[in-house]
Chain A
Amino acid sequence: MKGTHSAVFRDPRVWLLATFAGAFGIGALLIASTGGDPWLAYQALVQGAFGSGVALSETLVNATPLIFGGLAFALAARGGLFNIGIEGQLVLGGLVAGWIGSLPLGWPPFLHVPLSLGLAALAGGLWGLLPGILKARNGTHEVITTIMLNYLSFRLTAYLVGPSGPLRSGPLPATAPLVAAARLDPLWSGTRLSGGLLLALGLAAWVGFGLFRTRAGFRLRTVGSSPGAAQYAGISVSKVWIGAMVLSGAVAGIGGAIEVLGLHYRYYDQFSPGYGFTAIAVGLVGNNHPWGVVLAGLLFGALNNGATAMQTLANTPKDLVQILQALVIFSVAAVAGLTRERGGK
């Protein structure tokens, strides 16, 4: 009699749905308390996120960088590392892509695009290498070093496209526009959705295969779950840490590059509204599983995209969506805590 009940209550998916409903419920109360109509607001949110082909494509555009960032976070997290430096790695990747993409090399797209992406990955990876080495050699906590490297990255990129920066072109704090060969054009005319989304999905599949089928992925997950057991099994914990940080940074760098090559067509200073930070939430909500990250990226992309419609159609402040996002993160964290508690030892 008790068994079936407790089985239902122990299922994390049930909890997740319940807490999501709770999050939107609290959101509705907030909308109502500020004089708005929750029903209208949520209708606008859904309309804005999924209401038309263009709306849907914009949701996907919003989701793309979050999926890259979420995968970057998940890679580090599976190795037991908390990479807060995704934003810095992503911005740097964007800058490198913008710079390389603006060079008139005269190369065809199938060479120029991979070159830009590759160098962006390299830049992001280098930005991950340093905290990785410091962690492996000295035990310096990666949270501290990656936060610091974020600032370094922000200032460095701001300088490079700043008033007297070497990469500045024109009146805006930006690089020169991309040459045509470096652009990732929209998949469908009338939308802004580039092939970057496909790359993100491919990368998710690759990360999934890597983590759960390969030796390297096994080592990574072992170190992330139990450094002591890893050491006693002959796995080099420091190598794994360095590798995980480099990979994480590289994926973040590619994410930034995709934004530049497929959306803005040049690097603008502060082009990222904090994708790298939202990515942490995306990783956590997606349980650091590649497909979970894709779903969480879509959820957050839809929320971001729908927020605009909510503001214009229902006159609800856009900030409310951020509160909603916070409530979603909160509920996921609570569910994770609850199911862990109930799972017992």
Chain B
Amino acid sequence: MRQGIPAAVEMSGIVKRFGPVVANAGIDLRVEAGEIHALLGENGAGKSTLMAILYGLVSPDAGSIRIDGIPVRFRNPRDAVAAGLGMVHQHFMLIPRFSVAENIILGAEPQTGIHLNRRQVVAQVEALMRQQGLWVDPWAKVEDLPVGMQQRVELLKALYRGSRILILDEPTALLAPTEVEEFYQILRRLQANGQTILFITHKLQEVLTVSDRLTVIRQGRTVGSCASAEATPTQLAEMMVGRSVSLGGMVAPAAVGDPLLEVEQLLLRSQPTPESDTGYTKLGIQLQVRAGEIVGICGVEGNGQTELLELLMGLRRSPVGTVKLRGQDISRASLLERRRLGLRTIPPDRHRQGLVLNFSLLENLLLTHSEDPPLARRVRLNYALAQTVAQELLHRFDVRASSTRPPARTLSGGNQQKWIIARELWGDPCLLLAAQPTRGLDIGATEFVHARLQETRDRGCGILLISFDLDEILALSDRLLVLFQGQIAGSFSRGQVSRQTLGFLMSGGQP
């Protein structure tokens, strides 16, 4: 630590309770001026609360904060901004219909009287962009921009308000792999321009790649703080979770059986390109999943993942091509008919597709079993049997809920996902379509989900894994396919391909 220069941010002994829940139980955090500091912790560890306290959104029950060595007490974010802090939330706070320039100046408009001089504003914003090396077309509407660009707008918004200390909440959660690379460069450029950066994350690789120092918190307490160069992923994971964890790695080779799913010449609707003005890509895709293997589909969001999933589920139809399940042509079969044949799905969005949030766990078990025996009778539902099954699944999948009665809304993301998996694996599926099975989950829950998927595979079930998370694909897949613009851009076996090659193919490079 540098002597003499006070820390940019120093929080000590921060305590915050919400009713009976202790979110922060005495956290210490020290961020040196000019460094990139990562705040690492599982979901629910207290990271977001701590940052909300720092930014003046929540007032602490105990503890003190110093900015540049000066004690401060923020009553609201305005105070924090005045002290040189800027925050970029995980879910952007932008107005989609407004232009980039308007979003940047919103709330801090330079104005004389009631007149807003647009040209002057744009000139000012452009000057800021040039100075920071962050270019976005100031006249563009935010709703037309990709996520990475929207994030730049958020950063510029903070910089425009004179921020010297940037707080970034899960900045890479919504970014595509190529955008993540760019984002790291931006961080380094901002650092070079004199910004102090504090970012929240639970991705280990990210911490080691981009941060100078890091602090790990668990269950509302500081576990430790060190220089990133001295840390290893395994050690950090243990600090976060509080016990040893497996980060993938050793996997028994697949005992592959007969083909379960055979897809021939299936057309995915993709974004219309000049070459395919019909909106359909010219070539169909072809893939196969055999019993006892996990086939991973990697690719950047929007390259046909949703289409592929919904075609296989039976929610949409391809004009040509065939889908066979265990040798039987199911191209024209409905979703329910496919389920009866043993096809199950973990949908990508657990809040809007996987669960009915205000239904109880019991009813959420019924959600995908309400049309078939034994839970369905002719007219009625067999609630008594469902209760027995639910109770047993609750236990077997270690879902943390007091009973099967509470609404799904009240569970943590990890427990919600466990419940979906419990439901879909119940009744012996032969093929599982798993879409983004660990999106937004912390390490502990991710580990659990991965273990269940591998167990399912070892029992002889075939799994098609669709994920935007390259690490997940690499860790789990026995074979993997790259999806780009509705086409299979590459096909590899486990260990045959590097991250670099995949990244290259995912962004449209030719092998």
Contacts and interface: CB of A to CB of B under 8 A. Distances in A.
B350 to A, nearest CB: 9
Q: Which 7 A-B residue pairings sit nearest by Cβ, starting from the closest? A: A234-B335, A228-B352, A232-B353, A234-B336, A226-B356, A225-B356, A233-B368
B334 A234 contact: yes
Nearest to A225: B356
Nearest to B368: A233
A3 interface: yes
A213 B383 contact: yes
Contacts of A3: 19-20
Nearest to B336: A234
Contact of B339 (A213, A222, A234, A345): A234
B363 interface: yes
Interface string A227-252: 01111111000000000000000000
B366 A218 contact: yes
B353 A229 contact: yes
Contacts of A230: 356
27 contacts: A6-B19, A213-B380, A214-B379, A215-B370, A215-B376, A215-B377, A216-B379, A218-B363, A218-B366, A219-B370, A221-B359, A222-B356, A222-B359, A222-B367, A222-B370, A228-B352, A229-B353, A229-B355, A229-B356, A229-B367, A232-B313, A232-B315, A232-B345, A233-B367, A233-B368, A234-B335, A345-B409
B132 to A, nearest CB: 36
Is chain A's binding surface mostly helix, strand, loop or mixed? Answer: helix
Contacts of B363: 218
Nearest to B309: A232
Contacts of A214: 379-381
Given A214-B381, A226-B352, A231 B315 contact: yes
Contacts of A213: 380-381, 383
Contact of B371 (A215, A231, A232, A345): A215
Interface string B135-157: 00000000000000000000000
Indicate the size class of the contact surface on chain B.
Answer: 20 to 34
Given A222-B356, A226-B352, A234-B334, 5 more contacts: A2-B19, A216-B379, A222-B367, A229-B355, A229-B367
Interface string B274-316: 0000000000000000000000000000000000000001110
Contacts of A225: 356-359
Interface string A298-329: 00000000000000000000000000000000
A228 B366 contact: no
Contacts of A233: 367-368, 370
B313 to A, nearest CB: 7
B354 A215 contact: no
B371 A234 contact: yes
A218 B336 contact: no
Contacts of A219: 370
Contacts of B334: 234
Interface string A164-205: 000000000000000000000000000000000000000000
A234 B336 CA distance: 6
B349 interface: yes
B347 interface: yes
Contacts of A226: 352, 355-357
A228 to B, nearest CB: 4
B354 A229 contact: yes
Contacts of B335: 234
A77 to B, nearest CB: 14
Interface string A252-273: 0000000000000000000000
Contacts of B376: 215
A71 to B, nearest CB: 20
Nearest to A345: B409
A218 B353 contact: no
A11 to B, nearest CB: 15
B402 to A, nearest CB: 15
Interface string B309-341: 000011100000000000000000011100100
A252 to B, nearest CB: 24
Nearest to B378: A215
Nearest to A6: B19
A230 B357 CA distance: 12
B366 to A, nearest CB: 6
Given A231-B315, A234-B371, A218 B381 contact: yes
B489 to A, nearest CB: 27
Interface string A9-40: 00000000000000000000000000000000
A215 B376 CA distance: 7
A215 B379 contact: yes
Contacts of B354: 229, 232
Contacts of B314: 234
A225 B363 CA distance: 12
A166 to B, nearest CB: 41
Contacts of A345: 409
A233 B365 CA distance: 11
B381 A215 contact: yes
A65 B384 CA distance: 36
Given A214-B379, A234-B334, A229 B352 contact: yes
A164 B359 CA distance: 54
B347 A232 contact: yes
Contacts of B368: 233-234
Contacts of B345: 232
B322 to A, nearest CB: 21
Contacts of B20: 3
A197 to B, nearest CB: 27
User: Which one of A230, A233, A345 has the highest number of Cβ atoms from chain B below 10 Å of its Cβ?
Assistant: A233
A222 B356 CA distance: 7
Nearest to B353: A232
